[in-house]
Structure 1
Amino acid sequence: MGASRQALFLQLTSSDWDGFLKGAEKEGLRVDRNGFIAQTPHPKALGSALTHPRITTDYSEALLELITPVCRTTEEMLTSLRDIHWFVHQHLEDEVLWSASMPCELDGDASIPIAEYGSSNIGQLKHVYRQGLAVRYGRMMQSIAGAHYNLSLPDSFWQKWQQLLENGQPLKDFKSDQYFWLIRNFRRRSWLLMMLFGASPALDASFVQGVKHNLTRFGDHTWYGPRATSLRMGDLGYHNNAQSSLNICFNELKTYTNTLERAIHTTWPPYEEIGTRRNGEYIQINTSILQIENEYYSAVRPKRTTERGEKPIQALESRGVEYIEVRCLDLDPFSPLGLNAPQVDFLDLFLLGCLLQDSPRIGDAECERLDDNYKDVVNRGRDPDLQLARCDQTTPVMDAGRDALDELEWLAEQLDHWQGGQRYRVALSTQRQKLEEPSLMPSARVLDAMTSSGKGHREWTLELSLEHQKMLREAEPDEQMRADFERMSRASLDEQAAMEAEDTVPFGEFLESYLAS
């Protein structure tokens, strides 16, 4: 089956191949000049976090999220991301954007301000959802930053691919099935991304103050995992007991939406004990395992752009999967943008490879095995003695990595043949070098840089963040770009004000209607 998909793909011509559609969402904490989380509100010059199309906040008022439009090329996407960074840095005053995924200095939950979105019902819903995350998991976990990479293939490809597969489904259903085919293989291979791009092997001591952990002391204010690739994606990052009870199935759209829907409508006793209000104020949307779909943490998500007030499940069920969101990427602390071009090109290659390789349904036993592989690479991916489970045998992690890259060689050659140049072979070679020289892995580079600088996580990251800010602020200003961003900021503030003026239904009634839908 896998070979037949590869053979079918090779029947395409350069005129059939229209490239990738891509975009990024990059998070980053605002911090003060001492490396402490910012206590200031979202800068008004950056517009409304509720309605601005490029600049918003994630969990915290201090956690910026920068969003590119859909782009055709890696260069276009990174240029867009650089432009957004440039504008943001012009308005941070004495603050700086933190370059690492693991946070700056914190002083417990109270030091992490929850994002505010104004008085509209949608704005209040977003805030109450974040209050719910705080009472369920605490705020510390929510201060972690990452990069999300969004990828889709144009309809011109899907139509041709459907003809080659001799599939008679409606295009919407065909695309959804194929994206889930890709997702199943992503689940099988996502450990590779943690090894190649994991860049959070250390953290500030304030993050684990009073918490039991198995980390090693690096310095007075830093802990680290000697072989870890991504503490962000490990047990100290995104996890919780309630979600561990879920069995979200990624085999097809229907099972995925059904299992998510069930979680949103299944109460969880500890959350029932908390209740939805405290002193008359809403502190969570509901008492279910999940308040909404976005609460489910996963390394990958099938996505569909939602309309205002529409739930993600509703959008997926009515219009099908539109794109894939890769959510397991640490920020690249060495890049002012948190992402780099060879990484983005490799992600394109990797995700397309997941579509073109055999992808049987994932049963319970395989699902457990895949989760174990992922956790092992997160915690000790640079351990040469680590063995990964593959079917009924184990393989040294570096050999498994080489095998995974070898499987992409033909595809890199084909894409380069169609597009000209050596973009994908270079991207593949760049990742292969990390397996041959593990000191080139981002997680190893972070520890080496901290060691050579004589600084802990906080001091080293702050120094790097200030360097990135200086470089971005000194970039040649584009007055048209500045005017465009200022116009977007003003328009977003006007849009938020209009939403607030239009809302006449009390929030309690709005929430009841939202949950009933």
Structure 2
Amino acid sequence: MFSQVGKLIYQNEAVAQTADFTMGIEIEMDRIDSQGNLSQEPYPSSIGDEKTNPWMTNDFLEVMSETVTPAADYALEAMHYLYALNTTLRNALAPGELLWPLSMPPRLPKDKTKLVLAKMGPKKEAYLKEWAKRHGYAAGTPCGVHINLSIKPYIVKLVQANQPDRFPTERDAKNYLYTVVAQGFVRYRWLLTYLFGASPLAEANYLTPQQHVKHPMRSMRQSSYGFGTKFRGDFTDLDRYVARIEEGVKEGILTSDYEFHGPVRFKGNSELKKLQKEGIQYVELRMLDLDPTTAVGVKTVTLRFIRLLASYFIMHPAMTISEVDEVLKQADECNRVVAEEDPREVTQYQSTALALIKRLSQYANQIQLGPEYTEILDELEDRILNPLLTPSAQLLNYVEDGSLTKYALQRAKRYQEAALENLHPFHGFEGGKIYSTAELKEALTNLK
């Protein structure tokens, strides 16, 4: 059953455009040496300055490389940009350097203070030092995939123009649509964790001597042992989202508003007050582990599934304001449970997962998305029925002496060799050139 907004979009034959999000991808990967230790090499000079190059930078650690694609209209286009930038990074690495393909970091030094934080300028470095002091160095080391989704302007204009009493401005309509999408992804994050979780264990020295893990997990990165602060955001609406983060800073739970690392973030202006005034420009989804079976950390089928979910959330009834916080609080706990389940076991939420996949299949057929989506949903249904088909369960086949290092190194070397064999890698960052979005898209599109 479509919501009022969904019916409006359907009646105007614009449903397909709800899945045509503009998409950007951010991928974090650690630089390592040929033995599987964190690299001691400096930031690669041929890809510019890490402090000024927005497309190729560092995150928590100096060796945690972050590749950021320009926004793309289609999943395949986004993947083209990602492959080009990933190859660029690999070609810039020092001889013997590799990219670790797993979300959980390689073995860490026993003395974590030897880890070098990202050299991103005085303000960012001060923030990182304070964060590490509060949460520990290890907690900042897991890597992942971030997907940025921007709704097509036509949908926003259509909704506002046809419901001006409910949405007086396009800003109001846009904030509503993004809020519904955010709520949906937070509510069903556990399904993504089940389907795509790929971090079953931690390598040496990540866990403290006091931490005891009884069995492998679907996603240690998303578990209570995983990344960062466990501060809950408020996704009721933009005003309450901002107020909640400001409250966290005021209470000292967060060192700054930048520290909010929820599974979804509203994005636009980097200053919260200006974001509140100007409105949401896109949402950032932060719940995916790296997929080690591909050189770039994420597959096209995953991006298509994300698009389908987002479209489904837009078209169907949202939660009432009074129930949002409690439902999403329960969803966070549900995600923790799924993340910490043994990946070889059937999830306790299997029946709900199957029901949701069924709904998505019906929706995909209703709006005539095409056979590729049927294939994707059939494959994901198989993963729900047979947990041994999930990424984390598959990774357990390669564990030796409690470690995935041998497997990760084999993958890393294979991907590195393929990148170095590329006949036309992108060298445009040499000399410190800074590209606008349009310039970089044109340069990457013209690669032969």
Does TM, scored on the shorter chain, surpass 0.5?
A: yes
Contact 1:450-1:457 within 8 A present in 2 as well:
yes
Which residue does 2:380 correspond to in 1?
A: 431
Q: 1:426 to 1:10 in 2, by over 3 A?
A: farther
Range moving further from structure 2, 95-104 or 162-171: 162-171
Report if the CA contact (8 A) 2:106-2:204 is conserved: no
Q: Which amino acid aligns with 1:116?
A: K
Q: 2:237 is matched with which residue: 252, 273, 276?
A: 252
Counterpart AA for 1:102: M
Partner of 1:270: none
Q: Cα 1:54–1:364, aligned 2, differ >3 Å: closer, same or farther?
A: closer
CA contact (8 A) 2:104 2:142 kept: yes
Q: Please list, as runs of the form range in 1=range in 2, the aligned pairs for 1:10-29 lying within 5 A after superposition.
A: 10-13=10-13, 17=17, 19-29=20-30
| 1:350 correspondence with 2:299 | no
Q: Which residue of 2 aligns with 1:7?
A: 7
Is residue 236 of structure 1 aligned with residue 225 of structure 2? Answer: yes
2:91 is matched with: 90
Residue 116 of structure 2 aligns with which residue?
A: 113
**Matching residue's letter, 1:413:** N
For residue 79 of structure 2, what is the amino acid of its counterpart?
Answer: L
1:330 equivalent in alignment to 2:294: no
Task: Name the structure 2 match of 1:474.
Answer: 421
Partner residue, 2:134: 136
Q: CA deviation digits over 1:452-495, x for unaligned, max 9?
A: xx8831222112111111112212315xx32x3335x3448xxx
Q: 1:190 to 1:321 in 2, by over 3 A?
A: same
Aligned to 2:444: none
Check 1:296–1:46 CA distance in 2 against 1; reply closer, same or farther (3 A cut): same
1:111–1:38 Cα change, 3 Å: farther
Query: Match for 2:106: what amino acid?
Result: C
CA change 1:177–1:381 in 2 (3 A) is: farther
| Structure 1 unaligned spans of 5+ | 118-122, 217-224, 267-287, 388-396, 493-517
- Counterpart among 100, 103, 107 of residue 101 in structure 1: 103
Q: Could you say if the C-alpha distance between residues 303 and 141 of structure 1 is closer, same or farther in structure 2, counting changes exceeding 3 Å?
A: same
- Residue range with higher mean Cα deviation, 424-433 or 125-134: 424-433
Residue in structure 2 matched with residue 294 of structure 1 by the alignment: 258
Match of 2:442 in 1: none
TM-score, normalised via structure 1 length: 0.78
Provide the rounded CA distance (Å) in 2 between the counterparts of 1:15 and 1:234.
35
Q: Which residue of 2 aligns with 1:486?
A: 430
Cα distance in 2, alignment partners of residues 365 and 24 from structure 1: 30
Does residue 194 of the first structure (1) align with residue 193 of the second (2)? yes
Report the residue type matching 1:425 in the other structure.
T
Count of equivalent residues = 429
**Cα offsets for 1:285-308 (capped at 9, x unmatched):** xxx3212222122111111154xx
CA displacement, residues 307-359 of structure 1 (integer Å, 9 cap, x when unaligned)? xxxx2x13311211111111011000111000001100001111221222222
Contact 1:195 / 1:381 at 8 angstroms: preserved in 2? no
**What are the superposed Cα offsets for residues 352-392 of structure 1, whole Å, 9 maximum, x if unpaired?**
212222222335543432222111100116465643xxxxx
- Residue 326 of structure 1: SS of its match in structure 2? strand
SS at the partner of 2:101? coil
**8 Å CA contact retained: 1:238, 1:297:** no
Matched, 1:159 2:161: no
The residue identity in structure 2 corresponding to 1:289 is I
Shift of 1:143: 1.2
2:140–2:228 Cα contact (<8 Å) kept: no
Q: Does 1:44 align with 2:45?
A: yes
Change (3 A) 1:172 1:75: same
Distance 1:15 1:357, change over 3 A: closer
Give the match's secondary structure for 1:23.
strand
Cα distance in 1 for partners of 2:135, 2:42 equals 23
Q: 1:7 Cα deviation (Å)?
A: 3.4
What is the CA RMSD across the aligned residues, in angstroms? 2.3
CA separation in 2, counterparts of 1:440 and 1:12?
40
> Secondary structure at the residue paired with 2:116?
coil
Cross-structure match for 2:214: 215
User: Per-residue deviation at 1:239?
Assistant: 4.5
2:180 matched residue in structure 1: 181
**Cα displacement string for residues 15-40 of structure 1 (whole angstroms, at most 9, x for unaligned residues):** 98372100100000001111111123
The offset of 1:215, in angstroms, is: 3.3
Paired letter, 1:294: Y
The range that moved more, 8-17 or 333-342, is: 8-17
1:399 aligns with 2:351: yes
Aligned with 1:464 (options 402, 411, 418): 411
Which amino acid counterpart does residue 354 of structure 1 have in structure 2?
Answer: F
Judge conservation of contact 2:398–2:404 (CA < 8 Å) in 1: no
**Does structure 1 residue 339 correspond to structure 2 residue 288?**
no
Query: Is the alpha carbon distance of 1:40 and 1:187 closer, same or farther for their aligned partners in structure 2, counting shifts above 3 Å?
Result: same
Q: Which residue of 2 aligns with 1:510?
A: none
Per-residue CA distance 1:134-180 (angstroms, 9 max, x = gap): 11111111111101011111111111133455544210122112211
In structure 2, distance between residues paired with 1:105 and 1:384: 27
Q: Is residue 362 of structure 2 the alignment partner of residue 410 of structure 1? A: yes
The amino acid of 2:223's aligned partner reads G
> Aligned partners of 1:262 and 1:477: how far apart in 2?
50
Where does the alignment leave 5 or more consecutive residues of structure 2 unmatched?
436-448
User: SS at 1:150's partner residue?
Assistant: strand
Alignment-derived partner of residue 268 in structure 2: 304
- Distance in 2, Cα, partners of 1:431 & 1:204: 28
Secondary structure (helix, strand or coil) at the match of 2:356 reads: helix
Aligned to 1:316: 275
TM-score normalised to structure 2 length: 0.89
Residue 366 (1) aligns with residue 324 (2)? no
SS at match of 2:57: strand
